[in-house]
Amino acid sequence: MVVLDLRRLRFLREFEERGTLGAVATALGYSPSAVSQQLTVLEKEVGTPLLEKAGRGVRLTDAGRLLAQHARVLLTAAEAATTDLAALSGAVRGTVRAGGVQSATRHLLVPSLTRMTAEHPLVRMEVSELELEQALPGLRLGSVDLVISDEYDGHPRPRPPGMRFAPLLSEQLLIVLPAGHPLAASGAPVAVSDLRDEVWVSSDETTGHHAMIVGTCRSFGGYEPDVRHHSNDADVQLALVQYAAAVALLPLLNLPPPNPALAYRRVAEADLGRRLFTVTRDAPPSPALTAFLTVVTDRAAAITPALS
């Protein structure tokens, strides 16, 4: 009788999700050769090839895909058993791996650590800055427990199956101009259509923030913005506005206290906003994750009035 090793099944499941030995190695903190070795041992244990050559890489055989499907079920059951045992013991312990877009990480996740540590000292917290697309494989596989993501008006995020999305907070978007810009002089809302000839700064081209800026300029101005600068760091974007006379469109959560070198103005054509939401696996959360979700939600409720 074959006894399946859950640890090696996780390697197989990771490969099914990520597609290359290198990606699995990066996700799990192993070398590609160590990943290959573990999968080779698994092949010997089950007595059939699980991988086959495909160009310069490898892919799953029919048997590999079949076992990966069973691995998904077995690993989910093992996670559920661990969660149930933790709940039965009454102790809130374990590890919570959380990530989020930069502003959510800075203003929600990091401040929540202090309360979480004080109230649940047996929980190990791991926080990273992550975009939703970057985090989805880890969420599906259990190497990430919680992600705070965002979506902008007119640019909804996809809702992949197997994930649970819960609203966290809403906030307004403001145009950011150099304080000496002619359109900043009156303090009135600024029309996107009047920014046709400006140089813009946005997050990376793969992000929802970049798509929002391009879509906003197309919808309200009828032009393609000259997005010349890119950074996922809001402080860098603000520095580009201040020192390179760029124009930004940022959520309130990204904006620092009043800066005499910068002008924050509403969008004249529409009241544009962004929503933050939590993303978790669609499965019963562990007591530790439940506790952290409560802390993060309370933190979001506390800062929401300032964003209204």
pLDDT tens string, the chain, 308 residues long: the values are 666 778 888 888 888 888 888 888 877 777 888 888 888 888 888 888 888 888 888 888 888 888 888 888 887 777 777 766 766 666 778 899 999 999 999 999 999 999 999 999 999 999 999 888 888 888 887 889 999 999 999 888 888 888 999 999 999 999 999 999 999 998 899 999 999 999 999 999 988 899 999 999 999 999 999 999 999 999 999 999 999 999 999 999 999 888 899 999 999 999 999 999 999 998 888 889 999 999 999 999 999 877 76
Q: What tokens appear for 220 in the block?
A: 């309200």
Residues 6+ apart with CB under 8 A from 122: 91, 92, 93, 94
- Global confidence as pTM: 0.74
Nearest CA to 225 among 249, 246, 183, 195?
Answer: 195
Alpha helices per DSSP H over 90-185: 102-104, 110-119, 132-141
Dist CA 247 CA 237 (whole Å)? 9
Element (H, E) at 169: strand 163-178
Residues 175 and 270 sit within 8 Å (Cβ to Cβ): no
pLDDT at 181: 96
User: For residue 64, how far is the Cα from the chain centroid?
Assistant: 30
pLDDT at 308: 62
Q: What is the dihedral of CA 14, 17, 21, 23, to 10 degrees?
A: -100
> What structural domains and CATH numbers belong to the chain?
6-87 (1.10.10.10), 92-168+277-307 (3.40.190.10), 170-274 (3.40.190.10)
Q: What tokens appear for 279 in the block?
A: 């993303």
Residues 6+ apart with CB under 8 A from 74: 4, 6, 9
Alpha helices per DSSP H over 47-101: 62-89
Residues 6+ apart with CB under 8 A from 55: none
Number of neighbouring beta carbons within 10 Å of residue 122? 9
Angle of the 132-141 helix axis to the 21-28 helix axis, nearest 10: 80
Dist CA 64 CA 299 (whole Å)? 44
pLDDT at 83: 66
Residues 294 and 168 sit within 8 Å (Cβ to Cβ): no
Dist CA 107 CA 304 (whole Å)? 11
